[in-house]
Amino acid sequence: MTYLHTFTIVAALLISTKVAVAQNVLIDKKGVAHFFSEAPLEDIEATNEKAIGAIDLDKGTVAVSMFIKNFHFEKSLMEEHFNENYLESEKYPKATFKGKIVDFSSYDFSKPGVITAKANGELEIHGVKRPIVSDVTFEISENTIGANTFFKVALEDHKIKIPKLVIKNIAEVVDVDVSFNFIKK
């Protein structure tokens, strides 16, 4: 991904969350998203190490964006089928989350420690937006804020079709975990 492309994505994230650049916004361009699908015939998993995340520490808003084609699989054929047949990454190139940390004002992100909070927002995958609430663990140190979350995605909620021929190869609900390491300014 080029610098200009990365900058465009980050700018869009900031605008979409109505955040001014001068505010206390942290950005990580190397977040990791991982999914796992346990199925009777074969487990499927992939990792994307180029997720972009932003958190506004003044307002408690969060945004995440990642290109679907940046998910990589152990088997290249799985990756090809994932992009062409299921997620249709040419037509729906990105997955996004836009939301807010619930009860944000009750947390102190300036002190080292661990905060477990909920993020409430909208998850868009395969062109379908769905509301989602997810637990997020923030690990705060003097120089960084780590953010880790785990949630489940039902494929039918995002109109991801599974051909009957391979229905036993793919779980209908996929486990997703995402992590970011924000560097404090």
Predicted confidence at residue 6, as pLDDT, reads: 47
SS3 content of the chain, % helix, strand, coil (to 5): 20, 50, 30
Mean model confidence pLDDT for the chain: 88
Domains and CATH numbers, the chain: 3-183 (2.40.128.110)
> Whose structure tokens read 């346990």?
38
Q: What is each CA distance from 110 to 16, 53, 105, 113, in whole angstroms? A: 25, 19, 12, 9
> What digits encode the pLDDT tens for the residues 41-59?
788 899 999 999 999 999 9
